Structure 1
Amino acid sequence: MEEKSAAELSGYKNHLLLFPPPFQGHINPMVQLAHILHNRGFLITIVHTDYNAPHLEPRSRFIVEPICCGLSNQEAQSMDIVELICTLNKKCELPFRALLEDLQSRKGGFPVSCLITDAVLYFTQDVAEELGIMRMVLRTSSLTSNLVFEAFPVLREKGYLGGGERSKTGT
């Protein structure tokens, strides 16, 4: 992370951490939100994974923090979207927790006051609660996808998606 001096940090209201999933349709709205919030006086840190990393132009207005999730493009391409999201949630939790703990404990730093993520990065809820940081969710998807997400528990239970009681064959 680029270090900012106390003088540079003094003009900000709060430090917001934005963590979009590594998919273009999620990254673009999150960066747009980052611009809006920065223009309203917030210090912004954007976290991204090494998998499908966004091409964020170097901006002095944002701090950009990569985390290593250890997922190759080849691995990701062999998965369906549900499996990919579940894998990202498993692989990102520890490096994200370490980053957040580091940000919170830096001397002379500006602790994170709110985490803004997408609902598909569900592991961030537990991490935020454990560290006492407020979490907000930015939904970048349509109403239809919300209905699909509501069906996931039933589909898992019936064995159509990973993690259910029964096998995919229904036995």
Structure 2
Amino acid sequence: MERHNEGKKSQKPHAVCIPFPSQGHINPMLKLSILLHSKGFHITFVNSEYNHKRLLKSKTPFFLDNNFQDFIFETIPDGLPLIDADVTQHIPSLCLSTKENCLAPFRELLIKINNNSSNVPPVTCIIFDGIMTFALLAAQEIGVPSVSFRTTNACSFMCNKHLPLLIEKGILPLKDESDITNGYLDTVIDFIPSMKNLRLREFPSQIRTTNINDKMLNFIMGETERASKASAIIFHTFDALEFNVLSDLSLICPPLYTIGPLQLLTNQLQEKSLKFLRANLWKEDENCVKWLNSKEEKSVVYVNFGSITVLTKDQLMEFAWGLANSKKNFFWVIRSDAVIGDDSIILPSEFIEETKERGLISRWCCQEQVLQHSSIGAFFTHCGWNSVMESIGSGVPMICWPFFADQHINCR
């Protein structure tokens, strides 16, 4: 796959950026790509075919207007059957499918990009999502550096690094299902550097299995180990927040770099840049800002549980009446696929009547824009790391309801 076009050696560096194909991974990778573009990089951004179709369908502002010759979108299949619905793909299936099926089409894409007849600079580095380590193999094949971009925090990565030790000590896997509710998850883990009084329940939710061969537990351990073989690791965090953990990780990992909160950095870019480029898999509610404009400063509770969290009908009702009984203004984002077993989310007419003057419900929004609005006084969140960083960057206090994966350690 060597490229022999000598005339292109002086061209700008070319980063191929490939996120894990879910909303919470695409956006931070896009922001990182925008920042690199602002520093002179040619960018190829690789989406899954399914998600790219959804991005076009959602008509995210500015996404369709991208006519930059040096910021290109490409697609590869994710290995799952194509569907038409605007729903989050089953995350465990997506993790296993990308691991098994994406290397070959990604390799073919790199060959196409590096073809002598291509009008773009040769690939000089690959930046891959921390759980898309097949891209590391592709980088090795074409002889370029690879960088693992962790969209979670350093504490979560440190936990993942120590999962094999928890298995070695007999702490994992769980002995039986009762360990989830009998207090076993409150076991204190005191041997992880820089993380005192950590409880087992604060580890990634993939540990809650009784099967040592559990596919997701082994996926997390395998991807964490392989990511540590990259040329460098970038964390979406900042030193003041996780200084001690980052210092300890630097002793056992390749060079580490922190870059966050990302939106504070992209906000500093010039107007003529790609700073307004967004990628939302659901159509944004463009009227929510008008509604927020009508509310007093710091008077609105913003409620959004992200792109993956799902609720039971009972949980939906509890949250709804909690908001109603709070007597506070609220803006609540409820995805169309957010409630288990309910494709048509219908809230009681009594709730609608009680909150019609102080509540707004939408399917999706530009969260950064909402969090930066002066009317927002609190954020009721699932504690996805993007949400945490965006809330910190906007100075909005959080009410936390962690759901899965790294969200329990984020909450802490």
TM-score range, shorter chain: 0.7 to 0.9
Give the 5 Å matches for 1:87-166.
Answer: 87-109=97-119, 110-150=121-161, 154=167, 158-161=212-215
Which secondary structure does the structure 1 equivalent of 2:78 belong to?
coil
Structure 1 149/163 Cα, relative in aligned 2: closer, same or farther at 3 Å?
A: closer
Distance of aligned partners of 1:22 and 1:72 in 2 relative to their CA distance in 1, 3 Å threshold: same
Kept in 2: contact 1:51–1:72 (CA 8 A)? no
Q: Which has the higher contact order (CA 8 A, sep 6+)?
A: 1
Structure 1 runs of 4+ aligned residues shifted over 4 Å read 9-12, 76-79, 151-157
Contact 1:16/1:116 (CA < 8 Å) preserved in 2? yes
Residue matched to 2:229: none
The residue type equivalent to 1:87 in the other structure is S
Superposed displacement of residue 77, structure 1? 6.7
92-101 or 10-19, larger mean C-alpha shift? 10-19
TM-score (norm 2): 0.33
Farther-moved stretch of structure 1 (104-113 vs 48-57): 48-57
Q: CA deviation at 1:149?
A: 3.0
Q: Residues 160 and 10 from structure 1, CA distance in 2 versus in 1: closer, same or farther, beyond 3 angstroms?
A: closer
Equivalent residue of 2:151, what SS?
coil
Partners of 1:78 and 1:47 in 2: CA distance: 18
- CA gap of 1:142–1:58, structure 2 versus 1, over 3 A, is same
Match of 2:38 in 1: 39
After superposition, the Cα gap between the structure-2 partners of 1:18 and 1:77, relative to the gap in structure 1 and judged at 3 Å, is closer
Listed as ranges, the gaps of 5+ residues in structure 1 are 1-8, 165-171
**Map of 1:65 onto structure 2:** 74
* 1:106-131 deviation line (CA, Å, top 9, x unaligned): 32532110111111001111111011
Unaligned segments of structure 2, at least 5 residues:
1-7, 56-62, 168-172, 174-206, 219-412
User: Does the 8 Å CA contact 2:50/2:82 hold for their aligned counterparts?
Assistant: yes
Name the CA shift for 1:148/1:78 in 2 (closer, same or farther; >3 Å): farther
Cα distance in 2, alignment partners of residues 39 and 11 from structure 1:
18
* Superposition deviation, residue 85 in structure 1: 0.9
- 2:18–2:46: 8 Å Cα contact kept in structure 1? yes
The one-letter amino acid paired with 1:31 is L
Greater displacement, 86-95 / 154-163: 154-163
Pairing of 1:21-36 with structure 2 (within 5 A): 21-36=20-35
Does structure 1 conserve the Cα–Cα contact (< 8 Å) formed by 2:47 and 2:74? yes
Q: TM-score, normalised by structure 1?
A: 0.74
| Structure with bigger gyration radius | 2
Deviations 1:114-164 (A, max 9, x none): 111111001111111011121111111123431453356546982233697
Identity of aligned residues (%): 31
RMSD of aligned residue pairs (Cα, Å): 3.0
- Report deviation, 1:28: 0.7
Distance in 2 of aligned mates of 1:152 and 1:105: 42
Cα shift at 1:94:
0.8
Aligned length: 154
Query: Structure 1: which amino acid aligns with 2:111?
Result: E
Cα distance in structure 2, aligned partners of 1:158 and 1:95 = 31
